[in-house]
């Protein structure tokens, strides 16, 4: 297999045996890691995989490789990081087309030269690629005002499992007449095709940014205040609630019992508007009994924004479970309080995107962790979320836990339809086999 792949992409686009280990996940090490330098090479690799019955795991920089159920097999990891060019950039149109392997941070640096940016702030910002962000629909806290990745993507170019190149969308807003195929690929985790090119809409960088932080006596008060701010005319960029975690402290080194629930609210715009927003938001916080309202401006804003952005990635060198609950906004406080009061999560940390009903829960893993019991507790939490018309997805977990729980949860009545779509786009089932919902 190695010699065949070398003949397709050349030795320089194949990782050595020592380098391949870096792309291992869930206890699996791929047989080969390929970094094609062109769409033609990617097509040839996929066509070879089809003829040989090899599984292909698409990836960018590998920051999301651990998301998903245990794979059925891992033969070839296909990384897009060599496809990293800006294809077309029109600042006047507020659009950019890039190859999927370009890193988000590198793209933001290029856009900043024209006082523009892509309004997405997912974790792993220093490493993640645009293709990976789109394939996983990773968004971040800015989704409150600007929506998720789905709202920023105008067009895609994708190589399907058989090597066919397809295009969807275009380069202008509202360009789709008929079926919006973009939406099928966004968040599909590479199970329907490999994204090679993305067209995105951009926004001007705000002239001024500022953040308000405030502590509260209990989670309910903090959540209620946050929802009041979300519903006010201040139009914040994000409203996040932290529980057992203080993002203003480097490394969150303070003991959990010293951390009161904290609201972190971000604003951006022209200076006069931001000044008004800060005044109004501070008034809401103080009326609701906030403790120690603090305004953060200047260079400290970027540092705190990055800390908030990297919440679920900050523990990348330790063993943890990261669960993401999607709930009604009004149910966030109840679930956060319930988790805090449960003995098995005494060291848990949480961050809620209050305007969007998203709650991230980080659970540390000890050497003596009872995985069946942990899986049972997560299942109970998932069932509680489902009873409220929500769901729970496990984004990060050791393979020992994945043996006892489906990380995606129930698909209810949609599984049949998803299997039909998968069969149409990837008949041989070679792309990310077993890792998506219900082990598709």
Residue 424, pLDDT > 80, answer yes
pLDDT tens profile 171-229: 776 665 677 888 999 999 999 999 999 999 999 999 999 999 999 999 999 999 999 99
pLDDT tens profile 71-104: 999 999 999 999 999 999 999 999 999 999 999 9
Residues 107 and 239 in one domain: no
pLDDT for position 252: 46
Residues 235 and 179 in one domain: no
Residues 83 and 9 in one domain: yes
What is the pTM for the complete model shown?
0.94
pLDDT tens profile 310-333: 998 877 767 899 999 999 999 999
Buried b (16+ CB within 10 A) or exposed e, 114-130: eebbbbbbbbbbebbbb
Check: CB of residue 15 under 8 Å from CB of residue 23: yes
CATH code at position 228: 3.30.70.3450
The residues, any chain, with a CB within 8 Å of residue 359's CB and separated by 6 or more, are: 324, 325, 327, 332, 335, 336, 350, 351, 352, 353
Residues 277 and 155 in one domain: no
pLDDT tens profile 225-248: 999 999 999 999 999 999 999 999
Residue 254, pLDDT > 90, answer no
How does the average pLDDT of the chain come out, rounded?
A: 92
The Cα 245–Cα 347 span in angstroms is: 10
Check: CB of residue 323 under 8 Å from CB of residue 361: yes
- DSSP-derived letter for residue 412 is G
Structure tokens at 304: 């705190």
Residues 407 and 318 in one domain: yes
Residues 138 and 239 in one domain: no
| Residue-number span of the structural domain to which 347 is assigned | 312-412
Q: Quote the number of domains for the chain.
A: 3
pLDDT for position 345: 56
CATH code at position 374: 3.30.70.100
pLDDT for position 318: 76
């Amino acid at each position: 297999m190695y010699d065949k792949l070398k003949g397709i992409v050349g030795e320089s686009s194949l990782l050595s045996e020592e380098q391949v280990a870096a792309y291992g996940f869930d206890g699996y090490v791929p047989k080969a890691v390929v970094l094609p330098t062109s769409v033609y090479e990617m097509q040839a690799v996929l066509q070879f995989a089809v003829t040989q019955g090899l599984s292909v795991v698409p990836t960018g920089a590998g920051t999301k490789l651990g998301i998903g159920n245990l794979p059925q097999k891992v033969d070839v990891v296909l990384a897009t990081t060599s496809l990293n060019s800006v294809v077309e950039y029109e600042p006047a149109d507020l659009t950019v087309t890039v190859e999927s392997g370009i890193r988000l941070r590198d793209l933001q640096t290029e856009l900043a030269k024209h006082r523009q940016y892509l309004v997405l702030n997912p974790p792993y910002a220093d490493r993640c690629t645009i293709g990976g962000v789109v394939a996983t629909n990773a968004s971040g806290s800015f989704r409150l005002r600007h929506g998720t990745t789905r709202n920023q993507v105008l067009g895609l170019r994708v190589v399907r499992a058989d090597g066919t190149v397809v295009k969807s969308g275009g380069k202008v807003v509202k360009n789709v007449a008929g079926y919006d195929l973009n939406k099928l690929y966004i968040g599909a985790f590479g199970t329907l095709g490999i994204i090679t090119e993305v067209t995105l809409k951009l926004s001007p960088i705000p002239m001024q940014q500022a953040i308000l932080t405030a502590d509260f006596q209990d989670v309910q008060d903090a959540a209620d205040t946050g929802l009041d701010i979300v519903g006010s005319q201040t139009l914040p960029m994000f409203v996040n609630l932290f529980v057992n975690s203080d993002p203003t402290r480097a490394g969150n080194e303070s003991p959990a019992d010293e951390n009161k629930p904290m609201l972190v609210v971000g604003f951006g715009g022209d200076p006069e508007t931001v000044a008004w927003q800060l005044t109004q938001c501070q008034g809401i916080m103080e009326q609701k009994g906030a403790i120690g309202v603090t305004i953060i401006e200047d260079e400290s804003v970027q540092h705190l924004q990055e800390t908030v952005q990297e919440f679920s990635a900050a523990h990348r060198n330790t063993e943890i479970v990261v669960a993401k609950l999607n709930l009604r906004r009004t149910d966030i406080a109840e679930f956060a309080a319930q988790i805090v009061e449960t003995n098995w999560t005494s060291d848990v940390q949480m961050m809620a995107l209050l305007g969007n009903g998203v709650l991230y829960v980080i659970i540390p893993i000890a050497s003596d962790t009872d995985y069946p019991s942990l899986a049972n507790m997560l299942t109970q939490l998932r069932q509680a979320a489902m009873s409220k018309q929500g769901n729970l997805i496990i984004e990060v977990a050791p393979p020992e836990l994945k043996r006892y729980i489906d990380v995606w949860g129930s698909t209810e009545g949609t599984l049949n339809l998803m299997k039909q779509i998968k069969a149409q786009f990837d008949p041989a089932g070679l792309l990310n086999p077993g890792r998506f919902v219900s082990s598709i």
